[in-house]
Amino acid sequence: MDDLQKFIQRNLRRILATGALIFSLLALSLLLNSTPGGSFWIASAAIPAGAKISSSDVKLVKASLSENESHYFKGSEGVVGRIAARRLESGDLIAKSDLAVSTNANATTFLPVGVGVDDLPVDLLVGDLVDIYVIPKDSSTLPAVVARRVAVANIDQKSRALGGSVAVVLATNTSIAAVIVTAESQGRLVVARDSF
C-alpha cells in the first residue's frame, strides 16, 4: 500500500496529464459523432438552366449541413424529372430553390428577347434569376414589373460586346412567356438580377 502511495505521489502530474488527454480525446470523438448528417443530392455534371434532371446528372453524397439542411434536397427526396431553375455546376449541392417541378401545364419555354445593353446588369450570367420590367413607349403609362424570378438560359456575348440590343434567352413557362412578349411589343424591357 505504501508503494502505491509513493508511486502516485511521484507520478501525480503524469497521471493527471494522461487522464486529461484521454478525457479530451473522448470528448472530441463524442462531438464529432453527434453532428447531424445525411445524404444529399449534388450535380455530377454541369446542368444548364431549364434542363430536365436525369439520373446521370445527379448523385448522392454524405454531408453534414446542421441547421441549413432543410434548404437542400435529401437523399429521400426525388430530384430526377425536375427542371433546373438555374445553371448548376458539377459538385453543386442542389438547393430546393434550384429546381422546379416539371408538369405539362407548366412546360419550360425558351424565350429570346432583345434587351438594350444598358438595360441589363453588366455581370449577368447564365443561370441567374431575374426580374423583367417594361418601360412603355406611351409616356403616360408607368413602368411595371412583368415577371419575377425568371431564369436566364443564354446570353449572346457577341451582341453584348457590340452594344445596342443584347439577345437574352429566358427559361419560363408559356403563360409568363406570353406576358413578356406582350410587354416587349408595348415598350422597352429592363432586366434586373433578383436578390435571393
Please, what is the end-to-end C-alpha distance for the chain in angstroms? 72
Strand order across the beta sheet in which 108-116 lies: 108-116, 165-173, 144-155, 129-136, 187-193
Confidence at 163, pLDDT banded by 50, 70, 90: confident
DSSP string for residues in 74-125: BTTS--TT-EESS-B-TT-B-BGGGEE---GGG-EEEEEEEEEGGGS-TT--
Q: Rounded to an integer, what distance in angstroms lies between the CA atom of residue 189 and that of residue 83?
A: 25
**Among 50-54, 64-68, 157-161, which is the least confidently predicted range?**
64-68
Q: Which residue, chain included where needed, has cell 423583367? A: 132
Report, as an integer, the average pLDDT of 10-34: 81
With pLDDT > 70 as the criterion, what percentage of the chain qualifies?
Answer: 90
In tens, the pLDDT along 62-104 reads: 877 766 777 788 877 878 888 887 778 888 888 887 877 654 4
> Does 105 or 66 have the greater pLDDT score?
66
